[in-house]
Amino acid sequence: MKNISLFATLLFALLFAATACSSDERPDSSQQMVDGDGIEIEGAWARPGSEGRMSAAYFLITNFTDEDDRLLSAESDVAQNVEIHESYEQENDMVGMRELESVDIPVQSTIRLEQGGMHIMLIQLTRSISDGDSFELTLNFENYGEVVLDIPVRL
């Protein structure tokens, strides 16, 4: 029974990734400046989701510090598990999704967490999140440390 549940979760994750909009969709214009010379998070948002299901969060990360950094993890009380994921095309033209250990953020670069690419996966939501809601998401960087974001939920 446990294998069936794991299979169903993975199948939903693959379907979720396959139905994501194209990666050229623009994030909303909201911007959260964490520090003028540090790490800037822009266009943060998450998809709606039902309790017990999944959602994903997207945003841009720009590194204005004077050293390379790395996003190590993310956490939120809105989900039992929060992971850094990436979508990818498999050999058979199917879309797959895999967990990433971290994301490198070189000096003076912007990294896109977007639909159809890298994103923050919210697994087994602890409550439903609907269009217009928001929740806190904590990002943990290797050098910059902890950054707490307020993530709006939208369609």
Place 36 in a pLDDT band, splitting at 50, 70 and 90: low
Q: Express as a percent the part of the chain with pLDDT over 90.
A: 74
Q: For residue 10, give Cα distances in angstroms to 6, 63, 96, 118, 146.
A: 6, 32, 10, 17, 29
Residue 47 has pLDDT above 90, yes or no: yes
Q: What is the pLDDT of residues 21-34, one digit of tens each?
A: 333 343 343 445 44
Phi and psi torsions of 101, nearest 5°: -70, -35
Between residues 24 and 114, the one the model is more confident about: 114
Superfamily of domain 2-152: PCu(A)C copper chaperone (2.60.40.1890)
